[in-house]
Amino acid sequence: MKKIFLFLIVSVTLMSFMGSSSHNFKSGEYLQYRIHYGLLNAGFASLEIKSTTHDGRPHFHVIGEGSSSGAVRAFYKVDDRYESFFDQETNKPSKFIRNISEGGYTRDQIFTFDHDKKVVRINDRKEQKISYKEFEGNVQDLLSAFYYLRSYDTDNLKTGDFINLNIFMTDDTYRFRLKILGRETMNTRFGKIKTIKIRPYVQSGRVFKESESVTMWVSDDKNHIPIQIKAELTVGSLKADLHSYKNNKYTLHFTK
């Protein structure tokens, strides 16, 4: 069960491609996912985005939250909150906040990005310690990466294509690889919808059973919204389904 909500957020951010300054989402968009651990309803995770100003520049402010519920919460209490501030023009993250509590494991950190100097300032509020980490090239944080994807033109993606990307997580930059598996029509609680099927290659061992343990389906339209995510964990299996949504820039086309 450990880090199941981090898994959801990481999974959607793994969809990050080279984007543009236009946006296929808007302020006020809200996405909620229902998490299942095996046959159990494990809880919910959500993503909400709003317009704001940060350091005198227009930014988007994203809040990602996850909490366990029901029988799962009785033996494993999860209350996670992630926040990202990213520039509306460059799509680069300026600040990332990680405040999580997962069965006794807690973290309270603020990451500040300096893209000119290629340095991240890490303020660990729990440990009362400040450190700095250099990075190369372009990086995204866990949440900004997801929205960085949204304006990518997927029309030319074909089965077998690979995409590589860099995400700054915890205290270092990690390189991820994704493979396009094809296109499928998915059945959901809202009806049927066309999707792109993707395999993000993850690190096997502590959380995931194998490097190919995760499969995800995102809407095959301008929204690029994750519809379903499945993963085989070292202990058990996990599934996340789109449970509710509102204020999308483009209509999600579900059919009977």
Select, from the ranges 63-72, 106-115, 158-167, 194-203, the one with the highest average predicted confidence (pLDDT).
106-115
Rounded to the nearest integer, the mean pLDDT of the chain is 85
What percent of the chain has a predicted confidence (pLDDT) above 90? 53
Q: Round to whole Å and give the CA distance between 168 and 153.
A: 24
pLDDT of residue 246: 97
Characterize the bridge pairing of strands 191-201 and 172-188. antiparallel
Question: What would the pLDDT profile of 33-74 be if each residue is shown by its tens digit?
Answer: 999 988 889 999 999 999 999 999 999 999 999 999 988 888
DSSP annotation string for 152-180: ---TT--TT-EEEEEEEETTEEEEEEEEE
pTM: 0.87
CA distance 6 to 141: 13
DSSP summary character for residue 17: -
